[in-house]
Amino acid sequence: MTEQLLEQLLAGLYEGIAKEAVLINEPLKNHTYTKMGGLADLFLIPSTYEETAFAVRYAYEHELPLTMLGNGSNLVVRDGGIRGIVLSFEKLTDISVEGHELVAQSGAAIIQASRVAYDHALSGLEFACGIPGTIGGALIMNAGAYGGEVKDCLHSATVLTRKGELLNISHEELELGYRSSCFSKKEYIILEGRFLLTEGDPALIKEMMDDLTHKRETKQPLEYPSCGSVFKRPEGYFAGKLIQDSGLQGARIGGAEVSQKHAGFIVNIKDATATDYISLIQHVQETVQEKFGILLEPEVKIIGEELHS
Ligand SMILES: Cc1cc2nc3c(=O)[nH]c(=O)nc-3n(C[C@H](O)[C@H](O)[C@H](O)COP(=O)(O)OP(=O)(O)OC[C@H]3O[C@@H](n4cnc5c(N)ncnc54)[C@H](O)[C@@H]3O)c2cc1C
């Protein structure tokens, strides 16, 4: 992007979004759970829905690519970074409860939503107590764990279209399936989700959350940055088991390693670049395919540009 174009874009953006909410050439590794990713041309951190809608309309009208970023816990951002606008939701984190309804803004951590539900003796979000994503990221892919999923308790949502129009999505329109939703299909920008929960016994809710946390702590390599399970579950198999049986645990490229603790995870053990990480994903896919004839499909999204030297 030329200096002149950048200045023009900034002047326009500042008409609807606070100056301090616009960062230029921002390293995305500072905003992703994986601690990887190159620079974003423009990194916007709106504090209100009005600012968010302004940014979305601005991107649409100026034909700028627009990428949404939650906690970056299901994303690998390539080392060449992301052109155009990256929209962060890190200042939209309110969670409120009224009766059985919990409303959470897109940037709120789903772990926090799960804790707030517990504080109000509401059951339904226990499964999410260890998923390190935001509400936006969880809704997009119908996040789930240990038999529970967003689908079970999401009632409705408020979104923006790519043109910046505000829409309320009813329960019937959600189309939540295995790692898919109407939000991903229609490229909506999620502003908030409304969850319908049920009254529960706080002791039982706590017991379940403690149990799930213990399972994660013992089975998952939480001590390193990662993007969780790298691959989708292939029909009739477990990705982690196939990787383990291919002898890949501990395989390493640069700072990326197939976890010794859970073969389904690739961890950033030391300053991994996205190039290391993606090369290791490909190595795992090739090895498993050679050995078992099964192509593992990534669950994580790989976005952004290659680094050009
Ligand atoms: C240790 C670990 C454990 C995990 N365990 C689980 C698990 O048990 N179950 C599970 O399902 N996942 C799990 N994950 C994966 C991940 O945490 C979830 O997929 C989570 O929902 C991603 O949320 P995020 O905010 O990090 O999204 P990001 O990774 O930031 O983004 C994911 C996608 O959502 C889009 N997006 C984000 N916010 C918005 C928005 N507001 N509007 C529109 N699009 C948006 C992004 O553009 C991107 O396409 C795990 C990850 C880790 C690292």
Residue 291 one-letter amino acid:
K
- The backbone torsions φ and ψ at residue 139, rounded to the nearest 5 degrees and listed phi first, read -70, -45
Q: Give the pLDDT score at 107.
A: 98
Q: Give the pLDDT score at 257.
A: 98
148-149/95-98 β-pairing: unpaired
Report CA 214 to chain centroid distance, whole Å.
23
The pLDDT of 263-278, averaged and rounded, is 97
Determine whether 179 is an active site residue.
yes
Tell the residue nearest (CA) to atom 19 of ligand 1: 74
CATH number, position 148: 3.30.465.10
Tell the residue nearest (CA) to atom 2 of ligand 1: 228
User: Which residue did the predictor score with more confidence, 233 or 88?
Assistant: 88
* Ligand 1 atom closest to the CA of 107, numbered from 1: 41
Spell out the alpha helix ranges (H) of the chain. 3-13, 49-61, 110-119, 135-140, 182-185, 202-219, 239-245, 274-292
The pLDDT of 143-172, averaged and rounded, is 95
Considering 178, 205, 232, which residue would you say is the last residue of a domain? 205
Instruction: Specify whether 189 is located in the same domain as 113.
Output: yes
177 domain-assigned: yes
Quick: pLDDT tens for 220-244: 999 999 999 999 999 999 999 999 9
* Range(s) of the domain holding residue 151: 95-205
Task: Decide: 126 and 209 in contact? Cβ < 8 Å.
Answer: yes
Question: Comparing C-alpha atoms, which of 216, 296, 276, 280 is closest to residue 248?
Answer: 280
Per-residue pLDDT band for 128 (boundaries 50, 70, 90) equals very high
Residue 1 pLDDT > 80: no
Q: Give the pLDDT score at 3.
A: 85
Query: In 10 A of CB 204, how many CB atoms?
Result: 12
108 domain-assigned: yes
Per-residue pLDDT band for 102 (boundaries 50, 70, 90) equals very high
Per-residue pLDDT band for 118 (boundaries 50, 70, 90) equals very high
What separation in Å is there between the alpha carbon of 71 and the centre of ligand 1?
Answer: 7
pTM for the model? 0.95
Question: Comparing C-alpha atoms, which of 181, 198, 199 is closest to residue 190?
Answer: 181
Cα–Cα distances (Å) from 241 to 158, 212, 268, in that order, read 39, 21, 20
Residue with tokens 């799960």: 114
Question: Comparing C-alpha atoms, which of 70, 84, 59 is closest to residue 31?
Answer: 70
* Ligand 1 atom closest to the CA of 134, numbered from 1: 25
Task: Decide: 89 and 68 in contact? Cβ < 8 Å.
Answer: yes
Q: Give the pLDDT score at 43.
A: 98
Residue 54 pLDDT > 90: yes
Q: Give the pLDDT score at 308.
A: 79
20 domain-assigned: yes
User: Per the structure, how many domains does the chain have?
Assistant: 3
Question: Whole-angstrom Cα distance, residue 129 to residue 150?
Answer: 12
Q: Which of 73, 156, 229, 246 is catalytic?
A: 229
308 domain-assigned: no
Q: Give the pLDDT score at 5.
A: 86
Percent of all residues in the chain with a pLDDT value above 70, rounded to a whole number: 100
Sign of CA dihedral 106, 107, 111, 113: negative
Considering 56, 88, 120, which residue would you say is the last residue of a domain? 88
Question: Whole-angstrom Cα distance, residue 221 to residue 155?
Answer: 32
Q: Give the pLDDT score at 179.
A: 81
256 domain-assigned: yes
What separation in Å is there between the alpha carbon of 156 and the centre of ligand 1?
Answer: 19
Determine whether 229 is an active site residue.
yes
240 domain-assigned: yes
Sign of CA dihedral 184, 263, 221, 149: positive
Quick: pLDDT tens for 178-217: 888 999 999 999 999 999 999 999 999 999 999 999 999 9
Best mutation site among 49, 66, 68 for ligand 1 pocket (most ligand atoms within 8 Å of CB)? 68
Q: How many residues does the chain have?
A: 309
Q: Give the pLDDT score at 292.
A: 96
Instruction: Specify whether 197 is located in the same domain as 105.
Output: yes
Quick: pLDDT tens for 22-36: 999 999 999 999 999
The pLDDT of 243-272, averaged and rounded, is 97
| Cβ-based neighbours of 244, under 8 Å, separated by 6 or more | 263
